[in-house]
Amino acid sequence: MIRAYVSGDMASVALGADEVVAALAVRGVEVVRTGSRGLFRIEPLVEIDTPEGRIAYGPVEANEIDAVLDGTHASRIGRIEDHPFFARQQRFTFARCGVIDPLSLDDYAAHGGWQALDKARALTPQAVVDEVKASGLRGRGGAGFPTGIKWQTVLDTRSPEKFIVCNADEGDSGTFADRMLMEGDPFCLIEGMAIAAHAVGAGHGFIYIRSEYPFAIRVMQAAITRAAPRIAPFALEVRVGAGAYVCGEETALLDSIEGKRGQVRAKPPLPAIEGLFGRPTVINNVLSLAAVPFIVAEGAQAYQAVGFGRSRGTMPIQLAGNVRNGGLFEAGFGITLGELVNDIGGGTETGRPVKAVQVGGPLGAYFPPAMFDLPFDYEAFAAAGGLIGHAGITVFDDTVDMAHMARFAMEFCAHESCGKCTPCRIGAVRGMETIDRIVGGGRQPGGLEAMPQMRNAAARPRDRAAEIALLRDLCDTMKFGSLCALGGFTPYPVLSALDHFPQDFDQPATAQAAE
Amino acid sequence: MAWISETDLGTKPAPDSARTVSLRIDGDTVTVPEGTSIMRAAALRGTNIPKLCATDRLDAFGSCRLCLVEIEGRAGYPASCTTPVTEGMVVRTESAKLAKLRRGVMELYISDHPLDCLTCSANGDCELQDQAGAVGLRDVRYGYDGANHLQAAKDESNPYFDFDPAKCIVCSRCVRACDEVQGTFALTIDGSGFGSKVVASADEGFLPSECVSCGACVQACPTSALIEKTVTDIGTPDRAIVTTCAYCGVGCTFRAEMRGEQLVRMVPWKEGKANRGHSCVKGRFAWGYANHRDRILNPMIRESVDQPWREVSWDEAIAHTASEFRRIQAKYGTRSVGGITSSRCTNEETFLVQKLIRQGFGNNNVDTCARVCHSPTGYGLSTTFGTSAGTQDFDSVEHSDVIMVIGANPTDGHPVFASRMKQRLRQGARLIVVDPRRIDLVHSPHVDAAHHLPLKPGTNVAVLTAMAHVVVTEGLADEAFIRERCDWDEYSDWAAFVAQPERSPEATAALTGVPAADLRAAARLFATGGNGAIYYGLGVTEHSQGSSTVMAIANLAMATGNIGREGVGVNPLRGQNNVQGSCDMGSFPHEYSGYRHVSDPATRTLFETAWGVSLDPEPGLRIPNMLDAATDGTFKALFIQGEDILQSDPNTHHVAAGLAAMECVVVQDLFLNETANYAHIFLPGSTFLEKDGTFTNAERRIQLVRKVMDPLNGYADWEIVQLVAQALGLDWQYTHPSEIMDEIAALTPTFAKVSYLALEEHGSLQWPATDAAPLGTPTMHVDGFVRGKGKFVVADYVPTDERTGPRFPLLLTTGRILSQYNVGAQTRRTENVAWHAEDRLEIHPHDAENRGLRDGDWVSLRSRAGETTLRALITDRVAPGVVYTTFHHPDTQANVITTDYSDWATNCPEYKVTAVEVSPSNGPSEWQRAYADQAARARRIETEAAE
């Protein structure tokens, strides 16, 4: 019997994977549903077991199955590992994703699964924490805080109860690595959490998944059930979000798990000391926790050897937006933005020149091609006025209106603000209004300001420059005054758009492009 | 006292102040307890960092972002409210950058806020206004045409305060106050981002919501988004006087905030040791009765009760009173007259009334309303421990691990203490509720009782004995404590008694209705769960076995070692503001002040020497005995200060008959109460706002009552009693209540160190305040029981004679509701009627169905004693077979139903158990109509026959 591998990932299914599977099934082919390999241009992707290995075809339509089965399909790729998009990658975290059946404990074990947990449990908690520290792993959710130090704090905080919380509220537009991992290799995340639990002395863990990820929720729940005996006495459960972006902020996420309104908490106290239900809590991103099994199994040195500056190991980078090779690309830090966008991403899907890329989700900065020599590194990006964030890269061609994108950033902030702190709650709305006035060329004093009762208001017209100065002041207030990264990072896209594309604030980009 | 706004240090004190931390703030070295916030540390040195969401009553929140500071070596601008100090930290509270950030934040606030400050009701008392000034905002560059909330509709539904969302800055202080302080969780932030708004319950407006109008949110609001209607009507206050609430036994202290002679608002005083800055709807808002149109301001007399009242001068009224008492005593004997002191009046006034009776009338016929509430507490606790009072202060609950509430409904009856208790429960203390009804504490937001034992009314002793059975037979008793602190032989006798198989939870379950497994679990929890505290109310005392129940509680506390330290104890929740004080002051017919028997020669000699007369060594009559004697024709005149015995005492028919049989009934009160229908002389009383004095609350805490305005009736109550005494020929020359307290202190050992000077200095004192403990005694029986060894008293369960049967198959129990107070004389004359306009009969759906009743139907409620009608409220809060009502409204007269069964030791009436039948009805009973007619006739006041 022929065995084929087809991804059951949500993106693959969206591209027609289920229809392809149905067509294969009709022909008596045994189909193994895997996670996605991570290059969506070649999805739906079918891999056929052959004596030479798994031979891939993609993209494949359901009505082209016969050609796949007889090896004549025009989209024959060959061994996927040899495809240039994959050959350049260093897959530490996503090594099994797209390869194994995500819910097969046998598959997982056959591909090195649980070795790390067994090894960790043979060590003292401190030794495990030391290993994670030595790896140089930093929080992959965006803040880049050293994971080992966070764990050390939880380990050192005495409490009758501790928790491991996985932040799988992957809300940044253009990011999907968490989802792919949960759908493609859920045991890897579970193993990482179990190791964390051993390292800090936690008995219970939660995976907080956004409700927009029904596949991931289903797969994680099934995987938890199957892995329960393996990870016992550590116990895990899935908690599903309710659509609030701000619940990706760790303290709002904790409030949400506690059943409260998802609202950002002031820090201190740090969650590592007073986290979920007031107990010491490790809260890490999916990618941070999923990197741990590799680190423990292969040794901190193997992970630490890769990277750039203080950014060690690999980063699963997500290419999205107007890009030809959209998908997941795991590579060591240090690769340049230009390599990622042009060499790996293949430039824009529309074929027009790249105008800007936004790195780090909707709160990341926009970079023009002039800055494409920037190495992918936390410090380098910070120095350039941006952030890596969750390593989402969204590509725009030259038709994009950056004033519009700046306004969108404020609009996004206004839409997703929890409403707790003033700079974010009111500032985002004023930001939208101010950008509108900038684009509109300024404003005359309003009716109220012109009243003789108003002696203190400046009753003079405000030109575009004055409004831009106000926008910069507002960004300053939001950046330094906001309680969390939502309001605090919204100025990144706004100011980078203003700094790198000032002409878009004078006239619409479409008009420029037409010139 | 001039207007002093209370200082707000921004955040709460550090929880553990054992270690200190030194840091530099703006160049100065500051040393504060570890865990203190930067904001508080700065405020303590006089630096007020701008703030809006922070207040030292609430946990730090960090939302307004005005309080940002710079810390050397730290990136960014941390909020000073949420950042604790660390050793060696260097903080700057002002810099050009900080000024710009704060102005930027304020500019955003004001871009969405009304600008008509000068006509705002909070003008001059608004933190937003203050902070806008502090940060130097001069212009809002965004203009005023952006998105805003200025069109939001006001919510004026609450009778006492308004909510104007346009003025709301969404700081969440109201929401947090409702959650953290009050614990009702009625308020929330609805929506998110710019759409965030404060709503009550599910955005249904304040009045219909779960809001209990405690006022914490109004107090917390930094703007006029939530503001008292009185401030809107009158203006902001210009002075404040700290005084003590005249409602329940919690004894909250308030700032009476005044403008001229006009009371603008009552705001709970942060320094108040009983209430710690919190309040309930009654003390905070329901003071409008003080100038209600029903208030009687002129003395009145009449020959007989079928005549209308005739207004007379004070001179005439006082002279008439004295001559009537002298006439009656001359005719019927010295002991034919008596008086009743009031638990609503001050210690000094109460002391004077009993002195008037003992010294002036020459007998001991004095009693007080404690007769009908907590007299069994006095008997029970003095027998077992040696002191007629609770053992703890309210702060003690913060150290409790297991809290047992028996026969009390604190969220309604003692709401401010209930909030404290709920704070502790939310921190993890466990709760056991023993009550026939599913009171709110059993299940409310973030509070769930570990065990609710829904016993049948009247079976308290059986339940407590079964708990003791579990403690003793399962080896959970604290033997070390008992051997050291109690009489071991008495304990052994008691233990053998409770260990009898017929006392077990299993053997008594059928009788009590409490499942044995639940009772065992509750007993184990109480005995082994750490510090165990018992709080109880009238559901314990107002039974034929009231005193036995109090002693059973004391036994349980001693057996589990829960006496003599913080977090434990036996704590009666006192009903009236000064019921503890009225008992302390010698209001009982057998006791002088300080609970010393009138037959004790040494004590009597002390008083005889001080008062210059010989005193009657025989105890006098209790209230029920006075009424019995009146119907027998031997008791002819009664002086009643501030109590409405006709409405509040059991078996109304009997009370009415007794009063009607007297020749002279004097009522001294604010209003023509129900008892005044049978009075011949009416002496108008003064409110707590119009007098100086002291009240003693349930924790034995003596607190000053301060006069904030002149008595509308001309005299404070103590002055009226003094006038009567002088007319009787007694040489009383008190010029101020402090002199009365000096006399009390001189004559009462437990009050030895109490004086107005000491009270002014220390804020309050908990008696005993003696040479050994000059600052008072927060926790009693610390090193040993007052009586020596703690006494275990075998308290056998004896069923009440009041039994259900075919004619009266249901058990009626009575109680209170949050918004009304006792007989309602005050609260019915306030806007509190918005919540409770009538007494309703709570009945289980099963019992209602059997009788064909629907919710809201008029029902007839009948007992052996009488009948009344009221409307039904169908609820499973009561168990099948039990019905419940309140007694706040004279239209209902629930005490027509209650019987004259009473506590075997103290005659405290058995209000809590009456066998009744309920049936459909068309409206008020014949008796109610006749009563209403009589009352209308009796309340007529003759107008001048000028035309």
Question: Both tokens of residue B611?
Answer: 């008062």
Model confidence at B946, in pLDDT bands (50, 70, 90)? very low
Contact B909, B842 (CB under 8 A): no
Confirm if B581 and B369 have CB atoms less than 8 A apart.
no
Encoded tokens for B591: 């006791």
How many angstroms separate the CA of residue B204 from the nearest CA in chain A? 19
Structure token digits, residue B97: 């950058």
B252 to A357, B278, B322, B816: CA distances (angstroms): 63, 8, 37, 19
Q: Which residue from A minimizes the CA distance to B427?
A: A278
Say which residue the tokens 């750039």 belong to: A308
| pLDDT for the residue numbered B253 | 97
For B197, nearest residue in chain A (alpha carbons): A419
* Number of neighbouring beta carbons within 10 Å of residue B726: 15
| CA–CA min distance A62, chain B (Å) | 45
Q: Is the pLDDT confidence value at A28 over 60?
A: yes
Beta bridge partners of B68: B79
CA-nearest of A364, A492, A490, A389 to A138 is: A389
B2 has a pLDDT exceeding 50: no
For B394, the token pair is 């309210």
DSSP SS3 for A156 = helix
The predicted pLDDT at position B3 comes to 52
Q: How far is A392 from chain B (nearest CA, A)?
A: 25
Based on C-alpha coordinates, what's the Rg of chain A?
A: 24
Rounded Cα gap, residues B641 and B723, in angstroms: 14
Q: Is the pLDDT assigned to residue A511 strictly greater than 70?
A: no
pLDDT of res. B27: 95
Mean pLDDT of B399-415: 96
Mean pLDDT of B77-87: 96
Residue A362, pLDDT > 50, answer yes
Q: How far is B101 from chain A (nearest CA, A)?
A: 5
Contacts of B850 (CB under 8 A, 6+ apart): none
- Per residue in A363-385, pLDDT (tens digit) is 999 999 999 999 999 999 999 99
Q: Is the pLDDT of residue B1 over 70?
A: no
Give the pLDDT score at A509: 55
Interface contact flag, A446 B143, Cβ < 8 Å: yes
**Chain B, nearest residue to A420 by Cα:** B63
The string of pLDDT tens digits covering residues B436-460 is: 999 999 999 999 999 999 999 999 9
Q: Cβ B147–A429 below 8 Å, yes or no?
A: yes
Token output for B585 = 């002051």
**Is the Cβ pair A417, B63 closer than 8 Å?**
no
Bridge partners for A447 per DSSP: none
pLDDT in tens, B736-759: 999 999 999 999 999 999 999 999
Query: What's the average model confidence in pLDDT over A61-66?
Result: 95
Each residue of B728-754: b (16+ CB within 10 Å) or e?
Answer: bebebebeebbebbbbbbebbebbbbb
CA distance A211 to chain B (A): 18
Three-class SS state of B829: helix
A484 interfacial to chain B (CB closer than 8 Å):
no
| Beta-bridge partners for A5 | A32, A47
Mean of pLDDT values over A171-190: 96
Q: Which amino acid appears at position B351 of this protein?
A: F
* Residue type for position A167: N
* Average pLDDT of the residues in B788-806: 91
For the stretch B352-390, pLDDT in tens is: 999 999 999 999 999 998 888 888 998 999 999 998 889
Domain ranges of chain A: 3-87, 105-304, 307-397, 402-514
Report the residue of A410, A477, A482, A490 to disrupt the B interface, i.e. the one with the largest count of B CBs within 10 Å.
A477
Nearest partner of B201 among B190, B217, B215, B213, judged by Cα: B190
Which residues of chain B make contact with A460, given a CB cutoff of 8 A? none
**What φ, ψ does residue B811 adopt, rounded to 5°?**
-105, 125
Q: How far apart are CA B348 and CA B329, in angstroms?
A: 26
Q: What is the pLDDT of residue B947?
A: 40
Using CB atoms within 10 A of its CB, is residue A72 exposed (0-12), middle (13-18) or buried (19+)? exposed
Give residue-wise pLDDT tens across range B760-785: 999 999 999 999 999 999 999 998 99
- Do B63 and A473 make contact, defined as CB atoms within 8 angstroms? no
A44 close contact with B: CB closer than 8 A: no
Residue B29 has pLDDT above 60, yes or no: yes
Q: Do the beta carbons of residue B888 and residue B816 sit within 8 Å?
A: yes
Answer yes or no: CATH 3.30.70.3270 is held by domain A402-514: no
Q: Are B383 and B551 in contact (CB under 8 A)?
A: yes
Q: Which of A428, A434, A480 sits opposite B142 (nearest CB)?
A: A434
- Tell me the whole-structure pTM to 2 decimals: 0.93
Contacts of B74 (CB under 8 A, 6+ apart): none
User: For residue A508, what pLDDT is reported?
Assistant: 59
Q: Does the beta-carbon distance from A425 to B62 stay under 8 Å? A: no
Residue owning tokens 């300080």:
B594
Task: Report the run of H or E that residue A411 belongs to, with start and end.
Answer: helix A402-416
Average pLDDT estimate for B315-326: 97
Tell me the C-alpha distance between B291 and B939, whole Å: 19
Q: Which residues of B lie closer than 8 Å to A, measured between beta carbons?
A: 60-65, 68, 76-77, 79, 81-84, 97, 100-101, 104-105, 108-109, 111-112, 115, 138-147, 169-170, 172, 188-189, 191-196
C-alpha A122: how far from chain center: 32
pLDDT of B945 over the 60 cut: no
pLDDT at B4: 61
Two tokens, residue B421 = 């208790």
Per-residue pLDDT reduced to its tens digit, A270-286 = 999 999 999 999 999 99
**CA B943 to chain centroid:** 39
- Is A423's CB within 8 Å of B77's CB? no
Interface A–B counts its CB contacts (< 8 A) at 127
- Residues B195, A481: C-beta atoms closer than 8 Å: no
Q: Which residue of B has its CA nearest to A433?
A: B146
Q: Which two tokens stand for residue A427?
A: 């500032």
Which ranges of A201-298 would DSSP assign to H, the alpha helix? 214-231, 250-257, 286-298
For residue A143, the chain B residues in CB contact (below 8 A) are none
The domains of chain B, with CATH numbers, are 1-94 (3.10.20.740), 161-291 (2.20.25.90), 300-372+580-766 (3.40.50.740), 375-572 (3.40.228.10), 810-937 (2.40.40.20)
* B101 vs A266, A457, A481: nearest CB: A481
User: What is the pLDDT of chain B when averaged over all its residues?
Assistant: 94
**CA angle at A259 for the pair A253 and A262, rounded to the nearest 5°:** 40
Residues B64-74: tens digit of each pLDDT: 999 999 999 99
**B65 with A448: Cβ contact below 8 A:** no
- Say yes or no to pLDDT of A299 above 90: yes
**Considering only CB atoms, which chain A residues are within 8 Å of B60?**
266
- Mean pLDDT, rounded, for B464-474: 98
Those residues with Cβ within 8 angstroms of residue B560's Cβ, 6 or more apart along the chain or in another chain? B471, B476, B477, B478, B526, B527, B532
Q: Between B62, B112, B192, which is nearest A426 by CB? A: B112
Confirm or reject CATH 3.10.20.600 for domain A307-397, answering yes or no.
Answer: yes
- Number of separate helices (H) and strands (E) present in chain B: 29, 36
Average pLDDT over chain A, rounded to an integer? 95
pLDDT digits (tens, 9 = 90+) for B227-266: 999 999 999 999 999 999 999 999 999 999 999 989 999 9
- The answer to whether A426 contacts chain B (CB < 8 Å) is yes
DSSP conformational letter for A339: I
Residues 6+ away with beta carbon under 8 Å from B18? B33, B34
Kindly list the residues from chain A whose CB atom is less than 8 angstroms away from the CB atom of residue B79: 266, 483
Contact criterion met (CB < 8 Å) for A430 and B146: yes
Comparing alpha-carbon positions, the chain A residue that sits nearest to B172 is A420
Give the pLDDT band (50/70/90) at residue A515: low
Helices marked H in B859-925: none
Judged by a CB distance cut-off of 8 A, whether residue A457 touches chain B is yes
Q: What is the per-residue burial (b if ≥16 Cβ within 10 Å, else e) of B591-628?
A: bbbbbbebeeeebbebbeeebeeebbeebbbbbbbbbb
d(CA A243, CA B431): 37
Going by pLDDT thresholds of 50, 70 and 90, the confidence category of residue B36 is very high
* Residue-wise pLDDT tens digits, B822-846: 888 899 999 999 998 899 999 999 9
Tell me the CATH architecture of domain A105-304: 3-Layer(aba) Sandwich (3.40)
Look at B108 and A428 and tell me if their CB atoms are within 8 Å. no
Taking the Cβ of residue A111 and every Cβ of chain B, the question of whether any pair is shorter than 8 Å is answered with no
Q: Report yes or no: A483 at the B interface, CB cutoff 8 Å.
A: yes
CATH superfamily, domain at A3-87: Glutaredoxin (3.40.30.10)
